């Protein structure tokens, strides 16, 4: 599992002209990608990292600051661009595998007391954000380590 985590001033996700998820104060955006070998151990690791990374102003974590998180599914995080000009998506989990795991990350963050907004799985989403800093980090879990 991979997550690109960005510190933001605000962010939103729009689908077909409708805002489906938004945070209107400083927090985090987490773009989450899943690979077929991922499971509960990877969900827990990624959720813990998103919640506890001390990357907000004052070296606070989202947990410390009570900051919101916007989670957006992002299968393209597993795009392979090593050959040619067209990425391959072989390492990305198919929707029926990925969707429940992205939902589990959301649930795990909420279980930690965080306010979580989401995009819409599988939709053509427009993500708007104001990156604060900018601060952007890659969080990865090893499916074999679970």
Domains in the chain and their CATH numbers?
2-140 (3.50.80.10)
Measured CA to CA, the distance from residue 24 to residue 139 in angstroms comes to 24
Q: What is the pLDDT of residues 42-98, one digit of tens each?
A: 999 999 999 999 999 999 999 999 999 999 999 999 999 999 999 999 999 999 999
Residue 66's φ and ψ, nearest 5 degrees, are 65, 35
Instruction: Give the confidence band of 145 by pLDDT, cuts at 50, 70, 90.
Output: low
What is the Cα–Cα distance from 66 to 81, expressed in whole angstroms?
37
pLDDT in tens, 13-52: 999 999 999 999 999 999 999 999 999 999 999 999 999 9
What pTM value is reported for the model?
A: 0.94
Active-site residue numbers?
Answer: 74-76
Q: What is the pLDDT of residue 142?
A: 75
């Amino acid at each position: 599992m991979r997550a690109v985590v960005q510190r933001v001033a605000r962010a939103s996700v729009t689908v077909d002209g409708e805002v489906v998820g938004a945070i209107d104060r400083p927090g985090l955006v987490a773009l989450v990608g899943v690979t077929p070998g991922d499971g509960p151990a990877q969900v827990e690791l990624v959720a813990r990292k998103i919640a506890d990374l001390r990357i907000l102003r004052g070296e606070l974590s989202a947990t410390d600051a009570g900051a919101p998180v916007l989670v957006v599914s992002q299968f393209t995080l597993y795009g392979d661009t090593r050959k040619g000009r067209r990425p391959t998506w072989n390492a990305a989990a198919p929707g029926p595998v990925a969707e429940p795991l992205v939902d589990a990350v959301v649930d795990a963050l909420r279980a930690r007391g965080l306010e979580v907004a989401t995009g819409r799985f599988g939709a053509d989403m427009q993500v708007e954000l104001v990156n604060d800093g900018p601060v952007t980090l890659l969080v990865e879990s090893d499916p074999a380590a679970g």
